[in-house]
Amino acid sequence: MSGIWGKQLELSLFGESHGDAIGITINGLPPGFEIDMEEVQFEMARRAPGSSDLTTPRKEKDLPEILSGFLDGKTTGAPLTAIIRNTNTRSKDYSLLKDVMRPGQADYPGRMRYKGHNDHRGSGHFSGRITAPIVFAGAICQQWLKQKGVTVSSHIQSIGHIEDQRFADQKEVTHEQAEAFKKDQLPLFDGEKKEAIRDLILEAKEEGDSVGGVVETFVLGIPAGYGNPFFDSVESTLAHLVFSVPAIKGIEFGTGFDITRMKGSEANDEYYYDENGQVKTRSNNNGGIIGGITYGMPIVFRSAVKPPASIKKKQQTINVREGKAAELEVEGRHDPCIVPRVLPVLEAVTAIALTDLILGGN
């Protein structure tokens, strides 16, 4: 099992959902970088469970304990390691699931890949809980990017059939608006859709079911010239990390698949000089990236988030110990929709990817 990613910024992820702790080691942070731990904790709280009736009732404070690489509020240049204690586990809820495979979860493929030795409690290392240390690392990277005038944010593009406006539909999105989205559990450009989305999530929860959605992530202030063609393109780097987030099943940049319905004359982003002599494009159909390299417009991409697989509705499955069919009603504490909690995770992996590229001069 590989838990290591990155080149200039290398991350090593460890832990299981119901183990003593989860954590991360970060190599490559510049020495002397001052970290605002209150901002880090704010990002952690956005992802943390138990924050409202829209999420799982499992409550975890998600307080990171930094073990190395940090002194007097600044990075030392040594590997920065942090752990997050698991304090509210109920492993007995998963005793049946050692043998009965949950549809939509990694139980069966994980059992086959690791010959039955993987930790099945709370999905073990497959759990969305493992995104907590990723958010910790991403929060640090976002602070580093802010010093360079770069802001990473996102909004809910859709939940179920309810659609918000797109980033491209806005006349302008400011850094201040992007930051304000982070303080909203259901950030939308069209705030009038909020109650309908909330009702849809609670309706699924009442039915013992779940719903998915789409998150649109955007990056403001990123200069032109970062990235590479082919294997280390901005898209491939981002996509690698985005697909590392549990429950992500698709990604599209800019106009995405809709660009296939355009002619070249419509799809091309025409250049011009603005009043300050800065190069801009009249559209952003390519999502701020051409040839794998940024061109100075906002990076924009959308991620498809599937409905949570753990639901109370009865499902058909198998019992691998008995070798026969089984029925399953999943017990425990689960989210009816993880889209609101995925927002900070996607912002985190975006910040991590861009930090790795920028540190490498790429």
Q: What is the pLDDT of residue 3?
A: 87
Q: Is 299 exposed, middle or buried (0-12, 13-18, 19+ CB in 10 A)?
A: buried
306 carries a ligand binding annotation: yes
Q: How does residue 142 score in pLDDT terms, banded at 50, 70 and 90?
A: very high
- C-alpha to C-alpha distance for 92 and 137, rounded to whole angstroms: 31
Q: Does 127 appear as a known binding residue?
A: yes
Pairing of strands 74-75, 70-71: antiparallel
Task: Give the number of other CB atoms < 10 A from CB of residue 267.
Answer: 16
DSSP 18: T
What distance in Å separates the CA atoms of residue 335 and residue 56, rounded to the nearest whole number? 4
The pLDDT of 37-51, averaged and rounded, is 90
CA distance 342 to 305: 8
155 known member of a binding site: no
- Per-residue model confidence as pLDDT tens digits over 294-347: 999 999 999 999 999 888 899 999 999 899 999 988 876 688 999 999 999 999
Mean pLDDT across 40-54: 86
Model confidence at 119, pLDDT cuts 50, 70, 90, reads: confident
- Check pLDDT > 60 for residue 220: yes
CA end-to-end distance (rounded Å), the chain: 28
Top CATH class, 4-359: alpha beta
User: For 146-190, what is each residue's pLDDT tens digit?
Assistant: 999 999 999 999 999 999 999 999 999 999 999 999 999 999 999
95 is in an annotated binding site: no
Q: Residue 343's closest CA among 5, 48, 3?
A: 48
Question: Which value, in Å, is the radius of gyration of the alpha carbons in the chain?
Answer: 21
Query: Residue 217: which of 263, 149, 166 has the closest Cα?
Result: 166
Q: Which of 184, 306, 262, 244 is nearest to 13 (CA)?
A: 244
The response to whether 333 counts as a known ligand-binding position is yes
Residue 210 has pLDDT above 60, yes or no: yes
Q: How far apart are CA 330 and CA 333, in angstroms?
A: 9
User: Are 197 and 159 contacting, i.e. CB atoms less than 8 angstroms apart?
Assistant: yes
Q: Is residue 310 annotated as involved in ligand binding?
A: yes
Contacts of 20 (CB under 8 A, 6+ apart): 85, 86
Q: Per-residue confidence at 20, pLDDT binned at 50, 70, 90?
A: confident
* Residue 309 counted as an annotated binding residue: yes
All residues at 6 or more sequence positions from 296 whose CB lies less than 8 Å from its CB, including other chains = 222, 223, 224, 278, 279, 280, 288
pLDDT of residue 88: 65
Does 93 have pLDDT greater than 60? Answer: no
Answer yes or no: is 307 a known binding residue: yes
By CB neighbour count within 10 A (0-12 exposed, 13-18 middle, 19+ buried), where does 122 fall?
buried
Average pLDDT estimate for 355-362? 88
